[in-house]
Structure 1
Amino acid sequence: MKLKLVPARTGATWVKLGMQTFFKQPLALAGLFFIFMAVMSVASTLPIIGLPLAMTLLPAATLGLMAATREATQGKFPMPLILFTALRAGPAKLRAMLMLGALYAAGFMLAMGGSYLVDGGGFARLYLGGSAPTAELLQSPDFQSAMWLFISLHLPLSLMFWHAPALVFWHDLPPLKSMFFSIVACFRNFWAFTVFGLSWMGTIVVAVLAIGTLGNSTGNPGLSSMLLFPALMLLASMFFTSLYFSYRDSFELESDDLSRAAT
């Protein structure tokens, strides 16, 4: 396995491929994404252990969505069980994936805990859906400080785990080594990932504006509210579909890697 350097425009290509692949199997990929969201939501509602458990399962679930995307690119219909690919691949890979998940959970809880210390939990409750946003809360200096602290801690964490599930599962790398190669690959292709992020941000803004315009033009603002959530969920599903292509183009697979990836 070797790192590959790609031009900045490749970031936009990843977005395009994510959308195109989604529309090849929209029912399967949307359904898998909603199962993914349901599993994360149910796990997070468990008392005390809920949030750490959900974060521990996140890398494995993300790998499942990437495996589904790969099947869709091959013209196959991804079945629901593919979401649990990482948990059904034998004890060695299961242990590695759960260790990776535990490391992610620890990092996430550390970032969230840091924000809690800054504003007493205001940002954490809002981020985790435990409270509704208010103008007073959003304008609070402590809230804004907590938000930026969380972002500054969570961003490098996200980069370390961007490719890590795929590297653990398809390349048999140990969790810590996969995290290292993941963040190195993200920095080596900094401009491609920047274009990738900006392209998705632009897509979301355009979608929100289009839905708002539709509601205003029909004289039915409630229509915008009704359409906004499912539209954002579909875009989120396409985003997760595009993750596979960012991984695929960031690493040059060698013969042994190709044989493992085919299984």
Structure 2
Amino acid sequence: MQLNIVPARTGLNWARQGIRTFWRQPLALSGLFFLFMAVVSLVSIVPLLGGALALVLLPALTLGMMAATEVAEDQRFPMPGLLFAALKSGPQRKAMLQLGAWYAVAFLLIMGISALVDGGTFAQVYLTGANMSPDVVNSASFQAALWVSMVLYIPLAMMFWHAPALVHWQGVSPVKSLFFSFVACARNLRAFMVYVAVWFGLFVAVATVSMLVTSLLGDPSLLMAILMPAGLMVAAMFFTSMVYSVRDCFQVSGGDRAPRAHDGA
């Protein structure tokens, strides 16, 4: 396996490939993403440890979306069980759960650091969905905690972006997968910047169109009814596109792009 360096425009290709594949199986991939969100939400409500357990599952569920994408790419219907492919019995399951545990620890550490900035208000809102008044959200301490969390999350996202695929499909150890993932993201930073900009633009466009439609209909109460499903669909497309960045950033022996999922993932 070797690292590929790709041009900046490749980031646009990743987004385009994800959108194209999504529309090959839109109902299936939308359903899998909703299942993804439902699993995370249900696990999160478990008393005491729910939030941490949900974080542990995120790398495995992300891998499941990648596996489903490759099935959809082949014009086949991705079954719901694919979402849990990384959690089925196999040599990589323990490594995937270990990867998830590290993600949970690192994410909670970031939230802990943000709590030092604003006393834990931002962490409470993010982790529990607690309602806060506009004055609190717009306060200097809350905004500072938000920016601190965002800056600290960037290297965490870089370490875990490719890691689930490398662990599950290539058998790379969790430690090495984090290192390889970070280096791949850093060496292809321009492509990832384009990729993020494209998706940010799409989310903004969806929000803008939703507001325009609501304005034309003359009923502001319809905004969330339009924005939420549209936003979730774009989010599903985003997750569908992730596997293409992994393929282009890594190459396995024999010249094949990595990874390639099989029916059993």
TM over 0.5: yes
Deviation, structure 1 residue 259:
10
The separation in 2 between residues aligned to 1:255 and 1:101, in whole angstroms, is 30
State which drifts further: 182-191 or 122-131: 122-131
Distance 1:3 1:89, change over 3 A: farther
Q: Deviations over 1:29-57 (max 9, x none)?
A: 00100111011011111111111101111
Partner of 2:78: 78
The separation in 1 between residues aligned to 2:116 and 2:258, in whole angstroms, is 48
1:247 aligned partner, one-letter code: V
- Contact persistence 1:171–1:257 (CA under 8 A): no
Partner of 1:193: 192
Partner of 2:13: 13
1:253 aligned partner, one-letter code: V
Q: TM-score, normalised by structure 1?
A: 0.95
Q: CA RMSD in A?
A: 1.7
For 1:225-244, list aligned pairs within 5 A.
225-244=224-243
Partner of 1:246: 245
Distance 1:78 1:144, change over 3 A: same
- Contact persistence 1:164–1:179 (CA under 8 A): yes
2:195 aligned partner, one-letter code: F
1:122 aligned partner, one-letter code: T
- Contact persistence 2:250–2:257 (CA under 8 A): no
2:238 aligned partner, one-letter code: F
For 1:1-263, list aligned pairs within 5 A.
1-90=1-90, 92-255=91-254, 261=260, 263=262
Q: Deviations over 1:83-112 (max 9, x none)?
A: 01011141x211100110011011011001
Distance 1:229 1:260, change over 3 A: closer
Show structure 1 runs of 4+ deviating over 6 A: 256-260
Count of residue correspondences: 262
1:199 aligned partner, one-letter code: V
- 1:78 partner SS: coil
- Contact persistence 2:246–2:258 (CA under 8 A): no
Q: Identify unmatched segments of 5+ residues in structure 1.
A: none
How many percent identity over aligned positions? 49
Q: TM-score, normalised by structure 2?
A: 0.94
The separation in 1 between residues aligned to 2:96 and 2:228, in whole angstroms, is 31
Q: Identify unmatched segments of 5+ residues in structure 2.
A: none
- Contact persistence 2:247–2:257 (CA under 8 A): no
The separation in 2 between residues aligned to 1:78 and 1:210, in whole angstroms, is 30
